[in-house]
Amino acid sequence: MRTVYLNGDYLPEDEAKVSIFDRGFLMADGVYEVTSVLDGKLLDFDGHAVRLQRSLDELDIRHPSSKEDLLEVHRELVRLNDITDGMIYLQITRGNPGDRDFAYPAPDTAPTVVLFTQSKPGLADSPAARQGIKVISIPDQRWGRRDIKTVQLLYPSMGKMMAKAAGCDDAWMVEDDVVTEGTSNNAYIVKGNTIITRQLGHEILQGITRAAVLRFAREAQMKVEERPFTIAEALAADEAFVTSATTFVMPVVEMDGQPVGTGKPGPVAARLREIYLDESRKAAI
C-alpha cells in the first residue's frame, strides 16, 4: 500500500480522506502538476514548481507551502514508497468551505494539498517510444484558459476514449483549423530541419518538457518555429511527435489513419528524446 501526503501528513492511501465539500471535488477548482522520477530523482522540479505557482496565482488560490517544503514532500514520498522510476502527482484545491457556493470562500480557507506516487518501472524505456503512437484529430472543446493547469480533465479524458475507440493512442485537438495540442501533451511536426509547434498563449499548456526540448533543439542548431499548423500540414510533414513530463519525447507515426512521414519514428524525435533524457537525468535532483 502506498503512503500518500495530505495537508501535512503522510498517511496510508486508504486513510487519506478529503471532504465532500472540497472545491476540487464540487467545482474542479484546483490545479495539479506531474513530476517524473528517474533513478529515484526528480526531473525538472523547478519548472513544475514555477508553473504551479503561476496556475495558483491565476486562480487566486493561496500557495500553502514554499518550494523548498514541496521539494521535501516530493523526496520523502519517493523515499517512503521506494520509487525508482515513476511519477509524483500533486494537486492543490481551493479547499473545503464547509458548504457549496459559486463564490470563492473566505481567503483564509485552507487549500487542500494532496500528493501521491505512481511507480512505473522502466518509464524511460517504453516500447511506445520505439514504435511510435497513433493519433486522431478531434475538435478542441475545452475552456479558454488551458494555460492554467486545472483538474478539469473531462474533455481530455473523452478525447483519449475517442482515440481508443478508433484503435489509436491519443488525440490532437483542433481549433479554427489549427492544432492546439494533444490531450495531455504538446504537439510538434518536423519539416526538413525545422521543428514546428504552436506558440504559447491561453490556448495551450506551457509544457515544462516543451520548454526544455525547444531549448535543446536550438542548442543542437535545429530551427524552431513557434506557430500554428494544420492537420494537413502534419500529414505532409517528415515527422511528428509529442512531449510531456511522463512520456518525454514520443514519436507520432500515424494520424487519422494515414502515415506521418515514413510511418516509422523519425530521427529528429529520436535524437531529441535522447538529448532530453540525458540532460534531464544529469540535472535531476
Asked if 49 is part of the footprint of ligand PMP (rule: CB under 6 A), the reply reads no
* 150 exposure class (CB count in 10 Å sphere: 0-12, 13-18, 19+): buried
Tell me, by CB under 6 A, how many residues bind ligand PMP.
Answer: 13
> b/e for 216-233, b at 16 or more Cβ within 10 A?
bbeeeebeeeeebbebee
Q: Considering beta carbons, is residue 96 or 246 the nearer one to ligand PMP?
A: 246
**Contact status, residue 171 vs residue 205, Cβ threshold 8 Å:** no
Residue 81 or 247 having the CB closest to ligand PMP: 247
Closest among 37, 96, 94 to 71, alpha carbons compared: 37
Gap between the Cα atoms of 186 and 180, Å rounded: 8
Out of 77, 124, 135, 245, the residue judged to bind ligand PMP by CB under 6 A = 245
Does residue 35 belong to the site contacting ligand PMP (CB under 6 A)? Answer: no
- Nearest Cα residue to 70 out of 55, 86, 48, 37: 48
**Positions in 172-211 near ligand PMP (CB under 6 A):** 181, 184-186, 205, 207-210
Please report whether residue 243 would count as binding ligand PMP according to CB under 6 A. yes
* Binding-site member from 244, 252, 265, 266 for ligand PMP (CB under 6 A): 244
- Which residue's CB is nearer to ligand PMP, number 215 or number 264? 215
Active site residue 149: yes
Q: How long is the chain?
A: 285
Active-site hit among 149, 164, 191, 223: 149
Instruction: Give 3 or 243: the residue with its C-beta nearer to ligand PMP.
Output: 243
The label of the residue with cell 504552436 reads 198
Distance between CA atoms of residues 278 and 246, nearest Å:
15
Residue 214 in contact with ligand PMP, rule: CB under 6 A:
no
Residues that bind ligand PMP (CB under 6 A): 34, 181, 184-186, 205, 207-210, 243-245
Active site residues: 149
